[in-house]
Amino acid sequence: MPRFSYKGRDISGALVSGQVQAASASEAATGLFNDNITPIDISESRGKASTNKQGKRRRSDSSAAFGGIFSREKVSLVELIIFSRQMYSLAKAGIPLDKALRGLRDSISNRKFKSILHEMGQELEKGMALTDAMGRYPEVFSPLYLSLVMVGESTGRLDLSFEQVGKYLELESNTRKQISSATRYPIFVLITIAVALSIIMVFVIPVFAETFERLGAELPWQTILLIDISNFFLNYWYVILGLIAISVFVFRQFVATENGRETWDRKKLGFPLVGEVFERIALSRFSRTFAMMMTAGVPIVQSLAVISKAVGNTYIGKNILNIGDYISKGESLYYSSIRSGMFSPLVLQMISVGEESGNIAELLDEVADFYDSEVEYDLKKLGAAIEPILIVCIAGMVLILALGVFLPIWDLANAVR
């Protein structure tokens, strides 16, 4: 029977390692779970299984990176939505959190998420709060998620918190689907054009160039330009690939910095056609999450600090933090929103009415609905606006190729006549 080396955490949270005999890696993982060990790395080993004097697996507290089969999986947004819905139902039914997590763990196919829920259940059994247990996994649970769960824990309405965050994640998923649907066709066409141009430049133009050179034909400037570009592709392809790789690396390093990310997010808002879409999506997230946190009873300044990281745009997030600074200095939400310069007069009027009437959360929900409808309309309009641009690009490519390839052929035909 094969032997598998493993690394994991025991019931106390300590890192352990050792070897087990099992028919497969999944069977080894099941055996470790039954022994209250959460595996984080399992790999087949040819060595003998090492045990201590009592016959138990050897344990080690040496640190190990989160790797193996679990590190290759990610917790998707859909899985997080399902988890939130299930936690809402279980919390509403009054089931203890540790038992709820244990039941959910057995119904989840994602091995990484299963391992996370197992460890969270162990922490809850030791008396840790749910928010603190979730906070150990920031790659899964965002600050917004944690803030709402923390409010639910403190008020005793954890079911409402999971219901709210589940609805928010659903809206976020719908927005991503709309963006993906609107950009799928343009991206496909652009990739097709790039592939077609590469094939023409590498395989087609050199054949025509060799033919024209052998016949000694006088070539028009369009053909000479195409031949020069083709020769550059053939002779300096490694330079092109190197420049692309360097550009991507420099760009990623630039946006990894705080100033670089803010600069890029600010530039995105000014892009033709899509800049307004980016802005309205961010403002929709702001309005929706602000209303949700106001309903949950989170203080305004704390809410704005959390929301600034959830809108998906660093530049707009900085303006949201400025709103919090203005409010902390004694200004109203309405005047603070005016000073931010982010909102239209209609939205500012709704904020003013909501602040005066005390229904700010309800009106912010209406503001979010307004922005959502605008985003949906903009995305539909985006597809209609991009199609003519793509047609013009394709027509331009065909025209250049026609002039560069067929003009010399016509000249040769005339010379023969």
Six-digit token pair at 347?
A: 């939205």
- Give the torsion sign (CA, 338, 342, 348, 350): negative
What the chain holds in terms of domains, given with CATH numbers, is 3-71 (no CATH), 77-169 (1.20.81.30), 180-417 (1.20.81.30)
Closest to 33 measured CA to CA, from 137, 123, 117, 147:
117
Six-digit token pair at 35?
A: 């022994």
State pTM to two decimals: 0.66
What is the C-alpha to C-alpha distance for residues 363 and 356, in angstroms, rounded to an integer?
A: 11
Q: Which of 106-110, 141-145, 405-409 has the lowest mean pLDDT?
A: 405-409
Q: Is the pLDDT of residue 115 over 70?
A: yes
9 neighbors 35 (Cβ within 8 angstroms): no
Give the pLDDT band (50/70/90) at residue 92.
confident
pLDDT of residue 130: 87
Q: Which of 19-23, 30-34, 338-342 has the lowest mean pLDDT?
A: 30-34
Give the pLDDT band (50/70/90) at residue 121.
confident
Q: Which range among 51-55, 86-90, 248-252, 277-281 has the greatest average pLDDT?
A: 248-252
pLDDT of residue 100: 85
Q: Is the pLDDT of residue 57 over 60?
A: no
pLDDT of residue 30: 65
pLDDT of residue 252: 93
pLDDT in tens, 247-305: 999 999 999 898 899 899 999 888 888 888 888 888 888 888 888 888 877 788 888 88
Q: Is the pLDDT of residue 359 over 90?
A: no
pLDDT of residue 49: 40
